[in-house]
Amino acid sequence: MTVIAELLGIPEGDRHHLRPWSADMCLMYELNPSDEAARRAVTASVEFGSYLRGLLAERRARPGDDLISALAAVVDDGDTLTETELVATCVLLLNAGHEASVNGAGNGWWTLFRHPDALARLRAEPSLLPTAIEELLRFDTPLSLFERWVLEPIEIDGLEIPRGSEVALLFGSANRDPAAFPDPDLLDLGRDPNPYLSFGAGIHYCLGAPLAKLELGIAFETLLRRVPRLEPVEPPRWKSTFVLRGLEALRVRV
């Protein structure tokens, strides 16, 4: 979150707002959100949007060496970038840039703690990290579902899906498909090939996937090296959300 804030140009004194705003805004992605969840999501969206518009005005007057200043310089009436598009870009960077990475890290460590043989292998063979990160993202998918709109009629396994339908893509299920993965319920840190769908596919493939894998690789490598005896203190509690699947916290002993 600190890196994203520095990239955007969020003043240090304002950064404590970002995590609560992001968590509340992400409630809008959940299935059948409650009235309270919807209210929190809308409130956070309005507050963050208003904050960014104020910051944009400041950066127009006094540009800095940050992304908002750079974008502010090209905001126009729509030929290049509108103010609303700038706000949406910043929100995307905030939410997509950290929510899935946080969940991927927490879920991944909890998976390793529940598979001590795999954790021991990774500690002995740190060169496995690139494939291990991808396998952990497959094994416990941090973004388990996303929705898309059907633009053209299509038939899948005899089921006709008309144009305009809304479909829910269960990435978590696809990542355990026995037709695509031998022994799909087995954690194999060296799995190759590994056609997992945690970052989506096609034209909707996650733009930040390379950065997310880089972040996770650095985080896991650093903890494995600096804290070789890391172990859990207690079973974690899962967040009540389904779409963005992650832990409330993961308490460990170093």
Average pLDDT value for residue range 60-71: 90
Q: What are phi and psi of 240, to 5 degrees?
A: -75, -5
Question: Is-catalytic flag, 90?
Answer: no
Range with lowest mean pLDDT among 18-22, 120-124, 134-138, 229-233: 18-22
- The tens digit of pLDDT for each residue in 21-40 reads 988 998 888 888 889 999 99
Mean pLDDT across the chain: 91
Report the distance separating Cα 107 and Cα 142, nearest Å: 7
User: Could you tell me the pTM of the whole model?
Assistant: 0.86
Euclidean distance between CA atoms 214 and 125, whole angstroms: 18
| List 180, 206, 209, 219, catalytic entry | 206
pLDDT score for 77? 63
Does the pLDDT of residue 125 top 90, yes or no? yes
Q: Residue 231 catalytic?
A: no
Question: Can you tell me the mean pLDDT for 130-145?
Answer: 95
Candidates 8, 81, 17; CA nearest to 45 is: 17
The CATH code belonging to domain 2-253 is: 1.10.630.10
| Catalytic residue status for 215 | yes
Query: Structural domain boundaries of the chain?
Result: 2-253
pLDDT digits over 197-251, tens only?
999 988 888 878 888 899 899 999 999 999 999 999 999 999 888 888 999 999 9
Instruction: Find the catalytic residue in 41, 90, 99, 118.
Output: 99
**What is the torsional sign of CA 88, 89, 91, 95?**
positive
Q: Which of 5, 44, 72, 96 is catalytic?
A: 96
Choose, from 69, 101, 144, 198, the residue flagged as catalytic: 101
Distance CA 33, CA 245 (A): 15
Whole-number Å distance between alpha carbons of 150 and 72? 35
Among 8, 4, 40, CA closest to 240: 40
pLDDT digits (tens, 9 = 90+) for 170-206: 999 999 999 999 999 999 999 999 999 999 988 888 8
pLDDT for res 78: 64
Distance, in Å, from the CA atom of 239 to the CA atom of 254, rounded to the nearest integer, reads 24
Buried b (16+ CB within 10 A) or exposed e, 219-249: bbeeebeeeeebeeeeebeeeebebbbbbee
The percentage of residues in the chain with a pLDDT greater than 90, rounded to a whole number, is 64
CA-based R_g, the chain, Å: 20
Kindly tell me if the per-residue pLDDT of 76 is higher than 90. Answer: no
The answer to whether the CB of 33 falls within 8 A of the CB of 41 is yes
Average pLDDT, integer, range 121-148: 94
